[in-house]
Amino acid sequence: MDRLLEYAGHHSILAAAAVLMALVALGYEMRARAQTFAAASPQDVIRLMNQNALVLDIRPQEAFAAGHVAGARHMPSDQIVKAGETLKKQKDKPIVVYCESGPLAASAVRELIAQGFTRVCSLRGGLSAWRTDNLPLAKG
C-alpha cells in the first residue's frame, strides 16, 4: 500500500487518469443497468401479453397501420404526457411501450413511471427487434 501511495505521489497525472477512467466505467455500467431494467425482450413481451398486459405503440399512425404487434393500442408519443388521465384504470396493469428502435419508448416509460404507473417496460430494440425474431405483425 505504501508503494501505491508513493507511485501516486510521483505520477499524479497517471493516478488521476486511472481514477477518472474507473469513475467513467462505473457511470457507464450504472446507466446501462438502469436502461435495461425497464426493457423487456420480445419473448418477455409475449409472456406479459399472455398476462393481459397493455401494449402501446407510440410510432406515427402510418407506421402503426403498416404493421404493429397484435393487440397493441396506438398512442402517439405526444399523448404520453396525458396518459395518466387516459389510462388511469391501467395503473397497476403491466404496460409495454414500443417504438421503432427503442430510445423513444424508454423516455415514454420514464414519463409513465413519473405519472404513477407501477409496471411499465419498453420492448428492448423496439419493433425492429420484434421483426428480427420473426414474430407476427398485425396490419391495419
What is the DSSP code string of 62-84? Answer: HHHHH-B-TT-EE--GGGGGGHH
Amino acid letter, residue 47: R
Distance CA 40, CA 10 (A): 49
Determine contact, residues 57/104, Cβ cutoff 8 Å. Answer: no
Altogether, the residues listed in the chain come to a count of 140
Q: Is residue 121 flagged as an active site residue?
A: no
d(CA 129, CA 117): 25
Q: Name the catalytic one among 99, 106, 109, 120.
A: 99
Name the 3-class secondary structure at 68.
Answer: strand
Instruction: Report, as residue numbers or ranges, the catalytic residues.
Output: 99
